[in-house]
Amino acid sequence: MLIALLAIAAGFALLIWGADRFVDGAAALARNLGVPPLLIGLTIVGMGTSAPELLVSGLAAAQGNPALGIGNAIGSNITNIGLVLGVTALITPLHVHSRLLRRELPLLLAAMLFGYVLLADGRLERGEGIALLLGLAAVLAWMVFSARGAGRDEPLQDALELPQTMTTLRAAVVFIIGLVVLLAGSKALVWGAVDIAQRLGVSDLVIGLTIVAIGTSLPELAASVISARRGEADIALGNVVGSNLFNVLGVLGLPGLIAPGVVPHEVLTRDYPVMLAMTLLLLVFAFSLRGGARTINRIEGGVLLALFIGYEIWIYLAP
């Protein structure tokens, strides 16, 4: 058990460090190729915070534990909204100005509904996994289009803090190092999580929804808190919305592509509805009917955090 716990801790550390190097290298490469900063922030940086989930989900499915990957995708989304945004809003109320984000939030809800329709028959087949990944490609294409059409008055333009400039050769080396470390961290994490699940007699799904989901969401928590403290609430919310889009389409799609099979019953009756409900609540909190800025205040942050804690207790008490 101790070795498994150490493997999980080492896996989390490697995933966080590797994700930073992965993003730094990829963003520098993109910038050297002339990609606009806003596009880098919305795609590469957003995808980088979901890199741990993507690799953990893919590796778990390849090793015959697709439920861990499914739990990781759904649990990470619930954690991002309840824990990450809840804690961030408690520290600093989030003032939402970005027009792009107000378009991405309904898109996130639509993507989740699309995923639920595909899973409603209780199976995640290879064709459905491909459909989810194609949905991710469509979202990325939409982000490219939106970023190119965004005006200079778009708040995300000036709020983005991209990695430092580096030569193309150094950027490529940093990118490769980050990817290798991510792979090593995901392998250690999956091995430790599966070992603990077997020793404690709990399902891979529960481990994915709790320990793995919270651990792989640590980069989002750190990035969102730092951004909010700097007064960049649009970045804090953008980290979560972008990450959740990648999770529900990419991270959830990988188990279907690699190891199609039955979706645990609890996913459809408990976990996915909770994810949908919390996303809808975030949409209500972040939107202003008058079209101006909207603040996610400390009370609303407390509500999100309380719902997350209640959900974790529900999982723990479930038979």
* Both structure tokens of 62: 């390849």
Mean pLDDT of the chain: 82
Q: In the predicted model, what is the mean pLDDT of residues 202-223?
A: 83
pLDDT band at 156 (very low <50, low <70, confident <90, very high): very low
pLDDT band for position 317 (cuts 50, 70, 90): confident
Q: What average pLDDT score do residues 200-210 get?
A: 86
Per-residue confidence (pLDDT) for residue 29, from 0 to 100 = 74
Strand-pair partners of 295: 95
Say if residue 50's pLDDT is above 90.
no
The pLDDT value recorded for residue 276 is 96
Checking phi first, is residue 318 left (phi over 0); if not, alpha (psi -120 to 50) or beta? beta
**What is the sign, positive or negative, of the torsion defined by CA atoms of 306, 47, 151, 231?**
positive
- Local structure of 296: helix, strand or coil: strand
Pairing of β 294-296 and β 261-262: unpaired
Asked whether the predicted pLDDT for residue 161 surpasses 60, the reply is no
The alpha helices in the chain, defined as continuous H runs, are 2-32, 37-39, 46-49, 51-62, 66-79, 86-91, 99-119, 126-149, 155-159, 168-200, 204-207, 213-216, 218-229, 233-246, 253-258, 265-266, 272-286, 298-317
Q: What pTM, to 2 d.p., does this model score? A: 0.83
